Structures are given as C-alpha cells and as structure tokens.
C-alpha cells in the first residue's frame, strides 16, 4: 500500500464512518506494529483521490479516551502505508473567549501538559533532538485555513493548543494556569501525535472545532448525565453538531489541494543531520528504539 494522504479523525469520527459520508470505502485493515496493533485503517476513494482514515477514539462510539490511544502504533502504521501528510482533527475546549463553540481553528503552537505518555519512537537512542519552531506543518495549516475560509464558516488561523493528560477534564485553577501560559484552547489528543509524526518526517497539522468553554471560563450549572455535564448549552451543542457535519467537505477540499502540491516544507527533513552524520540510514524502520 502506498497512500500519501491520511486523516486522523477525532471526536465524532465514528459518526462519519457510520454515515458513510467520506467516500467509497475500498478496504479496512489493522496493522501489527512493533508498538502493538494500530487502530483500523480505512482506505477511501473519493473525488479527492485515495486516502486513509483512522478514527482515534473508536469505531462505534467514543470508546477510547485520549491517554489510552496507541499513538505510536497509529503513526507507525500510517508511515508503513506510505503516508507523507496527515490531516487530523480535534474538538478542544475554549480558554480564550475570542473563540466561540462551533468555530473552526487551525492551531499553530502546542503546550504539552501530558504525563507518562509514550512520546517518542527514539527511546534509549541518541536521536530525536528536533526543532519545534513550528510544531504543525505550515503547508497543511495553510491548506486547512483556505478550506474553512472557502466554505464560509467562522474560523481562526492561529491558536495555542494546550494538551492535558485526561481523561478527566481540567479544574478551574488548571485553566487559569494554562491561560497564564498563553493557551487559547485545551484538549487531550494532539500530543504526542504531532511530535511522533515529525519524528518519522511526516507532515502533520490539525483542524479544531471548538466544543465548549473550559471550566471556569463561563459560569455553567452542573447538569447530571449530560455530555460535558452542563458545559454546553443546547444552542452550542447544535452549533458543534453542524461543524462536525462540515468535515467531509472540508476534508475533500483539503485533500484535493494537498494532492496538487508537492511538499516543500522542512517536516520531511527533520532528521537530515542525523542521516548526514551517519547515525541513521535512509530506512526509517531502522531508526527506532524498539520495545
């Protein structure tokens, strides 16, 4: 298999799989990797061409929370399938009130607040000192911004995404801390996913749809048994649902634009100095600190 484009779906991805709105599915497979089994890889064909689709949190429902996703297996499997560029999506909460639930955001930077996640392929190796001036691929970010702009939906072209450990939500004090650190959004999924993709010299960027205000940002009464337990109003819930429904069109337009251009960014030379020094070879499978 040699499929250069892949999509990692976040919250709500299982709905799009069930509704069969992403294109014609050709096959589905699970790859065995040195880090365990990957999530199911769905191979789709659409007017944007062939691409792989992986639902980060499960196939039928939100069955796997962020700290327990096997990020290394998923990224390794996509690399094994020939993927060069990854578009992901995530549904974070809002810290900066210039953003609203249902808005789309293309984040430009990351704060890593996770703990004890397997965050590198280079365990016990002398490799991996990789610059992170742009944690997300600038070329994919530009394409994602153009896609939401052309669709005419409310969007923002930059934000700092703080990634917390989960699965619990954050306390009001933690959100105040993250605000002081410069975070605009708070979620649980983009770390270590973005960093692992860069380690294997793959382009990666994410499109976020905003789900709710984080704890303490806007006063909300506790509502037992509801999603987010009262952190969404009915209006906001409907806005978020409409945003999720727009993903097939956004993905189609983004993949079409990516297919028409060859990568000219630095992502795919992230380990060039290690190659030039003879520390690693061209075969990426030999780079890894395998379990």
Q: Residue ranges per domain, the chain?
A: 5-286
Contact 146, 207 (CB under 8 A): no
Q: How far apart are CA 253 and CA 264, in angstroms?
A: 20
CB-based burial label for 71 (10 Å; 0-12, 13-18, 19+): buried
Residue 169 is classified by DSSP as: P
- Give the residue carrying structure tokens 């796997």: 64
Note down pLDDT in tens along the chain; length 291 residues: 789 999 998 777 767 766 777 778 899 999 999 999 999 999 998 887 899 999 998 877 778 899 999 999 999 999 999 999 999 999 999 999 999 999 999 999 999 999 999 999 999 899 999 999 999 999 999 999 999 999 999 999 999 999 999 999 999 999 999 999 999 999 999 999 999 999 999 999 999 999 999 999 998 888 787 666 777 888 988 998 889 889 889 999 999 999 988 888 999 999 999 999 999 999 999 998 776
Residue 72 CB contacts under 8 Å (≥ 6 apart), including other chains: 33, 35, 36, 118, 121, 192, 196
The class that CATH gives domain 5-286 is alpha beta
Q: How far is CA 255 from CA 79, 111, 280, in A?
A: 17, 27, 31
Main-chain phi, psi angles of 113, to 5 degrees: -110, 20
Q: How far apart are CA 136 and CA 204, in angstroms?
A: 6
């Amino acid at each position: 298999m040699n499929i250069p484009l892949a999509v990692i779906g976040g919250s709500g991805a299982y709905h799009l799989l069930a509704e069969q709105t992403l294109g014609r599915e050709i096959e589905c497979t699970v790859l065995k990797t040195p880090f365990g089994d990957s999530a199911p890889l769905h191979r789709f064909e659409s007017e944007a061409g062939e691409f792989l689709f992986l639902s980060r949190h499960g196939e039928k429902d939100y069955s796997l929370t962020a700290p327990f996703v096997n990020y290394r297996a998923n990224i390794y499997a996509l690399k094994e399938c020939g993927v060069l560029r990854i578009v992901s999506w995530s549904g974070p909460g809002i810290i900066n009130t210039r953003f609203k639930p249902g808005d789309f955001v293309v984040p430009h930077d990351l704060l890593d607040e996770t703990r004890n996640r397997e965050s590198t392929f280079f365990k016990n190796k002398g490799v991996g000192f990789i610059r992170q001036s742009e944690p997300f691929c600038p070329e994919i970010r530009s394409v994602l911004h153009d896609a939401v702009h052309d669709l005419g939906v409310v969007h923002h072209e930059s934000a700092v995404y703080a990634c917390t450990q989960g699965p619990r939500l954050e306390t009001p004090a933690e959100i105040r801390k993250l605000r002081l650190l410069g975070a605009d959004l708070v979620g649980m999924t983009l770390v270590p996913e973005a960093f692992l993709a860069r380690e294997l010299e793959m382009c990666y960027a994410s499109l976020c749809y905003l789900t709710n205000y984080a704890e303490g940002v806007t006063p909300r009464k506790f509502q037992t048994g509801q999603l987010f337990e009262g952190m969404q109003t009915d209006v906001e819930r409907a806005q978020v649902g409409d945003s999720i429904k727009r993903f097939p069109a956004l993905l189609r337009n983004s993949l079409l634009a990516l297919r028409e251009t060859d990568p000219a960014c630095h992502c795919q030379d992230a380990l060039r100095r290690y190659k030039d020094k003879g520390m690693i070879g061209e075969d990426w499978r030999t780079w890894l600190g395998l379990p």
